[in-house]
Amino acid sequence: MGKHVKCSADYHDYVFKDGEFIGKFEEMYQNVEDPWHQDDTSEIHYDMALYLLNRYDVCRSRGGVVLDIGCGLGSFTAKLRKGLNKDTRIIGIDIAPTAIQKAKEKYGDLGIDFIVCDIKKELKRLPLTSSKADLIIMSELMWYVLPSFRDICHGIKRYLEDEGYLIINQTFYPPEKQKYGKEIVSNVKDIFKLVSLPLIEMIETNRLKNHHAICLFKKD
């Protein structure tokens, strides 16, 4: 495992450069302690997602199975553990072994299953603890799997229980700032063309800057 460097550097040198996707996630997690600033669990978007889960009683009054795709260092996954019913089984998956190892070290005592999984390659055999999930979460994942995002959304439908929920928590960039993927997604409305599930509710912030949306979908 590479040397862990404590710094506040962002992820761009490892993920995007000059408008091109690089995707060196394992190298990033080896060299940058908290590239997404996930340790800032006071971020309002976390709380908005939990608000929606509470509003629609998703894994709150009873347990269920939750899959957090692209969990990174596990900070939001851990917050889910504390905010949902204690009988809920929570699985966090990420492509980077170093991220999963760090998540286990920090949150292993919470009873969360952290598993290495490449969603683009392993969509047909996701590591669920049962055959279906009551809730699937994709938080700030879309840009990093963008060419495959439609197929991923279509594929995970079969892992959702009837009346199961999907949360997509995502930042969208102004046209003058976006350098990647405009032909697929250029604004929040484009996401509805890619997700083949009915939208139940959406919360938006920063519409004039880095537009953020927390979208809750429900399987028919």
CATH at 179: 3.40.50.150
Tell me, what's the pLDDT at 12? Answer: 73
Is residue 30, in this structure, part of any structural domain at all? no
Task: Provide DSSP, 34-81.
Answer: -TT-TT-TT-HHHHHHHHHHHHTTSSSSS--EEEEET-TTSHHHHHHH
Report d(CA 137, CA 80) in Å as an integer: 10
Q: What is the pLDDT of residue 88?
A: 96
Query: In this structure, are strands 133-139 and 160-172 parallel, antiparallel, or unpaired?
Result: parallel
Each of the 220 residues of the chain gets a pLDDT tens digit; together they read 444 444 445 677 899 888 889 999 999 999 988 887 766 545 788 899 999 999 999 999 999 999 999 999 999 999 999 899 999 999 999 999 999 999 999 998 999 999 999 999 999 889 997 789 999 999 999 999 999 999 999 999 999 999 999 999 999 988 888 889 999 999 899 999 999 899 999 999 876 677 899 999 999 8
11, part of any domain: no
* Distance from C-alpha of 75 to C-alpha of 81, rounded to nearest angstrom: 10
DSSP type of residue 147: G
Q: Is 5 inside any structural domain?
A: no
Does residue 24 lie in a domain region? no
Crossing angle for the helix pair 44-55 and 75-83, to the nearest 10 degrees: 30
The Cα 94–Cα 164 span in angstroms is: 22
How many domains is the chain partitioned into structurally? 1
**Environment class of 121 (CB within 10 Å of its CB; exposed 0-12, middle 13-18, buried 19+):** exposed
**According to the model, what pLDDT value does residue 156 have?**
95
Q: Where are the beta strands (DSSP E) in the chain?
A: 16-17, 20-21, 65-69, 89-94, 113-116, 133-139, 160-172, 199-205, 211-218
Token look-up 């269920």 returns 64
DSSP strand E in 111-159: where? 113-116, 133-139
Is 213 inside any structural domain? Answer: yes
Closest Cα partner for 160 from 64, 63, 75? 64
pLDDT of residue 42: 53
Q: Examine residue 71 and state whether it is found in any structural domain, yes or no.
A: yes
Q: Tokens at residue 49, please?
A: 């997602």
Q: What CA–CA distance (Å, rounded) separates 195 from 33? A: 32
**Structural domain includes residue 6:** no
Distance of CA 87 to the CA centre of its chain: 22
In-domain check, residue 8: no
Q: Which domain holds residue 65?
A: 38-218
Q: What pTM was estimated for this model as a whole?
A: 0.91
